Amino acid sequence: MMNLDQLWLSDKYLKSISSIENEVKLLSLDIFDTLIFRSCAKPVDIFLKVGEKAQKEGLSKYTPFEFQQLRILAEKVAREEKKKSINSTEVSLEQIYEHMPFDINTSNRIKEIELETEIESCYVNPSIYSLIKYFSGKNIPIVLMSDMYLSNEQIKKILINNGFEMNYISNILVSNIEGGSKEEGFLFKILMNLFPDIEKQAILHIGDNYMADVVAAKAAGIRTIHYKVIPSTINDVFSFEQVRFGDLLPELLSLRKLAGNIQNYSADEEFWFRFGATVLGPFLSIFADWIIDLCIKENKKYIYPLMREGHLLSEVISKALVYRKEQLIVRPLYVSRKATFYSFIEHIDTKFFEQLFKGKNDFVRLRNVTVYNFFEMFGITNLDVIKEFSQYYDELIENSNNVMITKETSLQEKLLQMLSNEIIIEQIKLYVEQKQRYIEEFLLQTIRDPSSSVTVDIGFRGTTQFFIDKALSRYTSGLTHVIAMGTQSTTEKMLLGLDIRGFLGNAGENIDIIYSIKRSPEIFEQLLMGEEGSTIGYLRDQSGKIDPIIANSMYQPKEIHWKKICAEGVKTFQFLWYHLINIKPQLKNEVFKRKREIAKILTRVIEMPTMEEAINLGELSHEDNFGSQYVRKICNDSDINLLDKLGVNTYISFTSHGWEYGKSYWPQGVVTRKYPFYLYSYYLKQRNHGSYVIVFNEMISRVREMGYREIAIYGAGEAGRHLLKLAILHGINVKCFIDSNKKLWGKRIEGILVKSLKEAFDDGINVFVVGSLAYYKEIKNTIIDTYSRKNKIPKVFTAYSLEE
């Protein structure tokens, strides 16, 4: 189990401190988004909660959204007025509320509500806290500082109410109290004046804001670490989630980001850990908690994850029981559709096989099953009669109707002729009856007390669960089945008496979200598996016990290694999840209300993967385990060939109906590998209709298509910053910002230097992208005129036109 007091040693951004710790004589820390995290997506989301509480108390006539907008505007106006009066933008919470449309008494109470809400929504970053404890133990003074409207005492109150020991801290420096900010360098001057005997080089400052915590600290001569846990990049999973669905699980956003950075893996391995920590970990951790709650409520004592996808589930549930100090028992149940499907067979005749061959059986699909695999499944490999099919052993059953043995007879027809033979039918019946006995005995010896037991699986149709109940049909089992998500198919089985529950949805609930996962589950299935092969049957040993027959694993060592790293990411998130809900127990109920959002985290991976996800996850192999030995990569060359043949739009439409259409496991992964920005652009247009973000994305796409890989962005405002993010996403290097505002020259925005147009010309910059919609013509003409006077012709891209 992880150690909270040593967490900083595994923190991607902090662990390097161990090599310089003896040189550090003073530790300085930013507060918000460094020491303190919030359980919301954006700081202004706090104001929505304040508005809601104020409305409930009868203090505000405004909706929560209206209140939020008023609060944002009031702060802006307060800063503007302060700027006019004393040339400073630093304001206090009290000064902000002077501009809110409430009387004094109401304002005072709402201010209290805002502070209470901050306390509820904030929690101490355990990684930074472990660093504080370590340096405090070395008697190193520690100072907190923030560019913030809250006072020292208000910040202390937030910290103390979140379990922080203030005796670790020497001072708190806040911009609105001191009269100047970190970004201006003012707070760093005060810091050095407070500790005149400590050399600048012996001070270490850590913070999330590049300009305030890195650039300004360096300008003051102070060593700094950019703590980039909370800031998102445009190509990370959180930005992609925002484009596809908006905010997902805001209560856990900061925790997911932290979990993804608590690791010690190489660059090649880091992806697998991050995916486990930020995507799979939240789903599995919350699912495990839900399962345990259900078991306690219904007095279930035994939990049986279905193998082999149950491998990681078993570990996560077992750890959850340890964290929660519960005494439930977790045991793997070695079953599969291949091993248990015999239990549903009641009548064996030619009609049965005809339905099986034509895919009309409601419970079994012979996908990637060869003719010889089929003979093995029904125990007739020892009969001489099958030898006449030897040249067709490798043909797939699903294609057998298209394979002609003679001009008049297909392979499928010939097989059905053979299977009409009464001797063969009798042998098959005996074989199936033996399989049914083995399945029944295995389940009875494994599940000792069905009425006190639950099985656990990912989903989706409840077929294996139905087979298990069928095998136990001679007994009143009382067995409960739990799946993460279920389609409409579970409804029919529930009507027949199957007790099956769904976490993220069942019987078709939330199918609009779940469908994509059900269509392409292979990624998640593979990551949940361990090293073991599939359960392909059962055998009686010498003692009379029934043992599962486990197929040889067909996965390469590197894939097993990737899965283990991913599992470590899952466990890291789970560790932090239990730390958080122990100190913020109300969060668990809030998260449980957001099951659609939990599902959307998984759905986004399928529908709109990042390039990194498409490349890495597409390299996993998938093995169909229903009687076949078919293994292939989730994304392979045949998928690309089909994409090239059909074109991207037709390919996505054609393959969306299921694996049978094109035999592509993960169509969106294939598309992203070939066209990295296609799905991003598609969903960007859907969610941001009419937004300048769309036209900017199309403009940057044109830049890339024309072969340019280095640009300058004209305009250093909000639009220009969006352009920068889009350029990074498309792999285009931004050399600098250009702006007509002289006050910005020489400064950095998002780490990019701001220059004058003349300086850009002198530096040989020749390709410009205009970050403005309102003044694009004027800016374009300014650039062209400036360069034409020097007999140069620049390349100027705007949202509406292109000069070549």
In a domain, 231, yes or no: no
Within this chain, do residues 108 and 141 fall inside the same structural domain, yes or no? no
- Residues 88 and 196 grouped into a single domain: no
18 and 144 part of one domain: yes
pLDDT at residue 630, rounded to an integer: 66
Three-class secondary structure of residue 593 per DSSP: coil
Q: What is the pLDDT of residue 688?
A: 67
Q: What is the pLDDT of residues 516-525, one digit of tens each?
A: 999 999 999 9
Question: What are the tokens at 528?
Answer: 């949940």
CB-based contact 274:569 (threshold 8 Å): yes
Higher pLDDT, 137 or 694: 137
Verify that 113 and 130 share a domain, yes or no: no
For the chain, the domain total comes to 5
Same domain assignment for residues 457 and 421: no
Residue 357: what pLDDT? 81
Q: Are 277 and 262 in contact (CB under 8 A)?
A: yes
Structural domain includes residue 556: no
Residue 770 has pLDDT above 50, yes or no: yes
Calculate the average pLDDT of the chain: 90
Residues 265 and 10: their CA atoms lie apart, in Å, by 10
With contact defined as beta carbons under 8 Å apart, do 286 and 578 qualify?
A: no
413 shares a domain with 400 = yes
Please tell me the distance from the alpha carbon of residue 500 to that of residue 479, in angstroms, as a whole number. 9
C-beta separation of 780 from 240 below 8 A:
no
Q: What is the CATH number of the domain that holds 791?
A: 3.40.50.720
pLDDT of residue 623 exceeding 90, the answer is no
Task: Give tens-digit pLDDT for 572-597.
Answer: 999 999 999 999 999 999 999 999 99
pLDDT at residue 388, rounded to an integer: 83
Task: Confirm whether pTM is higher than 0.75.
Answer: yes
From 82, 101, 120, give the residue that closes a domain: 120
For residue 9, tell me if it sits in a domain: yes
What is the span of the domain harbouring residue 512?
A: 293-333+451-550
User: What is the domain-level CATH number for residue 14?
Assistant: 3.40.50.1000
Tell whether 136 and 222 lie within a shared domain. yes
Q: Among 502, 523, 550, where does a domain finish?
A: 550
Reply yes or no on whether the pLDDT at 268 is more than 80. Answer: yes
756 dihedral zone (left: phi>0; alpha: psi -120 to 50; beta): beta
DSSP codes, 83-112: HHHHS-----HHHHHTTSSS-HHHHHHHHH
Q: What is the per-residue burial (b if ≥16 Cβ within 10 Å, else e) of 185-222?
A: bbbbebbbeebeebeeeebbbbbbbbebbbbbbeebeb
Task: Please state, in angstroms and rounded to a whole number, the distance separating the CA atoms of residues 744 and 738.
Answer: 9
End of a domain among 550, 576, 604? 550
- Residue (of 670, 669, 622) closest to 646 by Cα position: 670
Same domain, 165 and 200: yes
**Domain shared by 110 and 130, yes or no:** no
What confidence tier does 624 reach under pLDDT thresholds 50, 70, 90?
Answer: low
29 vs 717, residue with greater confidence: 29
- Asked, for residue 73, whether it belongs to a domain, the answer is yes
Q: Is the pLDDT of residue 804 over 70?
A: no
Q: Does the structure show a pLDDT above 90 at 338?
A: no
Q: Report which of 498, 533, 549, 546 is spatially closest to residue 624, judged by C-alpha positions.
A: 533
643 in a domain, yes or no?
A: no
Is 496 inside any structural domain? yes
* Bigger pLDDT: 668 vs 776: 668
Would 418 be classed as within a structural domain? yes
Q: Which spans in 181-340 are helix H?
A: 186-194, 216-219, 237-245, 253-259, 267-275, 281-297, 310-324, 337-340
In three state form, how does the secondary structure of 748-762 look? Answer: EECCEEEECHHHHHH
455 and 308 belong to one structural domain: yes
Distance CA 233, CA 235 (A): 6
Residue 225: what pLDDT? Answer: 96
167-198 pLDDT, tens digit each: 999 999 999 999 999 988 999 999 999 999 99
Longest dimension (CA), the chain: 101
498-509 average pLDDT score: 93
Task: With cut-offs at 50, 70 and 90, classify the pLDDT of residue 251.
Answer: very high
Q: What is the percent of the chain with per-residue pLDDT over 70, rounded to a whole number?
A: 97
**Could you tell me the two tokens for 16?**
């390097």
**Which range, 256-265, 358-367, 702-711, is most confident?**
256-265
Please state the rounded mean pLDDT for residues 728-741. 91
Helix (H, G, I), strand (E, B) or coil at 242: helix
Residue 143 in any domain: the answer is yes
Q: Mean pLDDT over residues 76-83, rounded?
A: 93
Grade residue 210 by pLDDT with cuts at 50, 70 and 90. Answer: confident
CB distance 502 to 494 below 8 Å: no
Predicted pLDDT at 629? 59
Res. 55 pLDDT band, cuts 50 70 90: very high
Amino acid code (one letter) for 569: G
Give yes or no: residues 13 and 150 share one domain.
yes
Q: What is the pLDDT of residue 476?
A: 66
Regarding whether 760 and 788 lie in a shared domain, the answer is: yes
